[in-house]
A = this chain, B = another copy of it.
């Protein structure tokens, strides 16, 4: 784990909601962040798929970390949009956020969320959002 990943892991571990969800910070660099979660029963909706709110948590958090690391300091997500493209089932979900543009005060990130089922990744959602720097 390099310095950037370790810095991000410290913040990630300080999020109580992330502990409740049971998510893991798989990777974190200036350009990319990956957050994953094993899909246990209490994360599902009424039909047995991953709840949309879980998927939106993954998108929100992956975008926050990717954008914050891109901006190089304390940051928060000001907005995002998500399209669910397929019901998410399987053993594990993984969200991969990429910083697409970094300015002085804000970064724009995209995020792909995949469900891993029988070893294969299937795209289940696409997100796009804005992360803004928090003044010191």
Contacts and interface: CB of A to CB of B under 8 A. Distances in A.
Count copies of this chain in the complex.
4
Contacts of A126: 100-101, 108, 110, 128
Contacts of A51: 15-18, 57, 61
> Most B CB atoms within 10 A — which of A14, A53, A103, A126?
A53
A37 to B, nearest CB: 11
Interface of chain A: mostly helix, strand, loop or mixed: mixed
A45 to B, nearest CB: 5
A136 to B, nearest CB: 14
Contacts of A4: none
A64 B132 CA distance: 19
